[in-house]
Amino acid sequence: MDTLIQACYFAAAILFILGLRRMSSPLTARTGIHWAGAGMLVATLITFFWPGMENYLLMTAAIFIGGVTAWWTGQKVSMTDMPQMIALYNGMGGGAAAAIAAVELLRGEFHSDIFLTLAVLGALIGSISFSGSLIAFAKLQGLIRKPLRFPLQHALNLLIFVLAVGYGGMLVVTGDTSGINLLVFFGLALGIGIMKTLPIGGADMPVVISLYNALTGLAVGFEGFVLNNAAMIIAGTVVGAAGTLLTQLMAKAMNRSIANVLFGSFGGEQGAEESVEGVMRPIDVTDVSIMMAYAERVIIIPGYGMAVAQAQHKIKELMDVLLQRGIDVKFAIHPVAGRMPGHMNVLLAEADVPYDRLYDLEEINAEFAQTDVALVIGANDVVNPMARSNPDSPIYGMPILNADQARNVIVIKRGQGKGFSGVENALFFADNTRMLYGDGKAMTGELIHAVKQY
């Protein structure tokens, strides 16, 4: 039976890897999710046959409650709330790893200090991911609206981290994993995640979510070694590695180091004040429709504002209308547009925008100079030319979409506010930019109607 169990865990791990590989492309992501889901089903079912397994009723009840809850929330959650849902579910993964570690530490039956050390590390990392992800969820959900910053904050965070690591080391050295010791240790570990995430602003949430995803995978991998569970080891390692690479890519897309995200003060709603000369010039729907109806090339740049307005379906309809007129339409996707990695890709896929219309930053930037109209809907910092021109700007050096190089730039925006980072956008004041004020969905609908008249 043990051979069968290990074979099933190995098969589950292979399905996880293949599923993750297919998730790397929107064209195969759906089947990748199915493959990974099949792997999880295999791993879950074979666990019932683990030697010495008990509490079958409790296990079944937990699986049923968790499965029904996940299915219901997955059906009900809107696409605009998907980032916080991912943060919440990722936190649950870290919490589960920490809970496994707590049970094993209370049991105290370790073959060597190595397994005890791995259990403590898994508990520490899983707890940080759990509490940090919950704070990220609260920020994205609007429950925590401003970053919490105060003097000597980094020193306090460092002190909590040192205490947690030191207390974990004491657990390993003494082997005393009694209840009170674990309570103190887990309290400190949870405190790290909370205190570390509270000062981070919303603009940095994509990187933070990706980082906590990597930590969750690492914690699961450690607990897999403790339990001698091949599926957990492989799945945790794969998730940890993928999350780490994605975190590095996201930070690179912002020209920021991970340390700067975690310890810097940029990324909040109270960003540095920027002085930009000029005025924002409004335009009406009629003039925009004429401009777009007789254009040859149009590039649409979506951002989080499109998600908030739920305008992705209207944008797809606008694309169809323009294509019918023989206009070349492309979408420019910045790696950190939105509130989670791949946010814009998910929204546009939901609206059935063909994947071959989506281009990343490196593929599309050279085409803006030959583009008649760049339509910006909900994007802000990712099209701010200050990232190229102002060394004093907090976003200087960040790779951006070269929307300002288009012949005409139309920005659909509710008002004249700054972006989520709090940095003024010089693009909005440029001579070739016009502001179409209003709700993204409503303005796009009017634009579709107007274009059809020509």
Tell me the per-residue pLDDT of 203-212, one tens digit each, with 9 for 90 and over. 677 788 889 9
Q: Are 307 and 338 in contact (CB under 8 A)?
A: yes
Tell me the per-residue pLDDT of 373-416, one tens digit each, with 9 for 90 and over. 999 998 988 999 988 888 877 778 888 999 999 999 999 988 76
The answer, yes or no, to whether residue 81 has pLDDT greater than 70, is yes
- Mean pLDDT of all residues in 102-107: 91
Predicted confidence band of residue 62 (pLDDT cuts 50, 70, 90):
very high
Structure tokens at 273: 């004040």
DSSP conformation letters of 397-435: T-----GGGSSEEEEEESSS---TT----GGGGSTTEEE
Burial call 302-336: b when 16+ CB within 10 Å, e when fewer: bbbbbbebbbbbbbbbbbebbeeeebbbbbbbbbb
Q: What is the pLDDT of residue 341?
A: 72
Angle, vertex CA 266, rays to CA 258 and CA 249, nearest 5 = 30
Distance CA 225, CA 98 (A): 14
Active site residues: 381
Tell me the per-residue pLDDT of 214-223, one tens digit each, with 9 for 90 and over. 999 999 999 9
Inter-CA distances, 282 with 19, 63, 287, Å = 47, 55, 11
The answer, yes or no, to whether residue 246 has pLDDT greater than 80, is yes
Q: What is the pLDDT of residue 420?
A: 55
Mean pLDDT over all residues of the chain? Answer: 88
Distance CA 416, CA 218 (A): 43
Maximum alpha-carbon separation in the chain: 80
CATH 3.90.190.20 fits 285-451, yes or no: no
The answer, yes or no, to whether residue 149 has pLDDT greater than 60, is yes
Structure tokens at 324: 């019918």
Q: What is the pLDDT of residue 418?
A: 60
Distance CA 188, CA 377 (A): 43
Distance CA 259, CA 225 (A): 29
Using only C-alpha atoms, what is the Rg of the chain? 25
The answer, yes or no, to whether residue 16 has pLDDT greater than 60, is yes
Distance CA 25, CA 46 (A): 30
Q: What is the pLDDT of residue 333?
A: 94
Inter-CA distances, 271 with 146, 201, 398, 420, 423, Å = 11, 9, 16, 9, 6
- Mean pLDDT of all residues in 283-293: 94
Q: What is the pLDDT of residue 372?
A: 96
Higher pLDDT, 146 or 138: 138
Predicted confidence band of residue 281 (pLDDT cuts 50, 70, 90):
very high
The answer, yes or no, to whether residue 23 has pLDDT greater than 70, is yes
The answer, yes or no, to whether residue 421 has pLDDT greater than 80, is no
Angle, vertex CA 31, rays to CA 133 and CA 7, nearest 5 = 85
The answer, yes or no, to whether residue 335 has pLDDT greater than 50, is yes
Backbone angles phi, psi at 95, to 5 degrees: -65, -40
Distance CA 178, CA 176 (A): 6
Nearest to 401 by CA among 358, 362, 453: 362
Place of tokens 């609007």: 142
- Mean pLDDT of all residues in 63-85: 86
Q: What is the pLDDT of residue 235?
A: 86
Q: What is the pLDDT of residue 248?
A: 86
* Percent of the chain residues topping a pLDDT of 90: 52
Residues with Cβ within 8 Å of residue 183, at least 6 apart in sequence:
none
Q: What is the pLDDT of residue 389?
A: 83
Strand partners, 358: 331
DSSP count for the chain of H helices, then E strands? 17, 6
Q: What is the pLDDT of residue 275?
A: 61
Tell me the per-residue pLDDT of 295-306, one tens digit each, with 9 for 90 and over. 999 999 999 889
| Domain locations along the chain | 2-263, 285-451
Predicted confidence band of residue 94 (pLDDT cuts 50, 70, 90):
very high
Inter-CA distances, 398 with 94, 333, 334, Å = 31, 15, 11
Backbone angles phi, psi at 408, to 5 degrees: -135, 140
The answer, yes or no, to whether residue 61 has pLDDT greater than 90, is yes
Q: For residue 221, which amino acid is it?
A: G
Tell me the per-residue pLDDT of 161-205, one tens digit each, with 9 for 90 and over. 999 999 999 999 988 888 888 999 999 999 999 999 998 876 677
Structure tokens at 22: 């297919």
DSSP conformation letters of 188-257: HHHHHHHHHHTTS-GGGHHHHHHHHHHHHHHHHHHHHHHHT-HHHHHHHHHHHHHHHHHHHHHHHHTT--
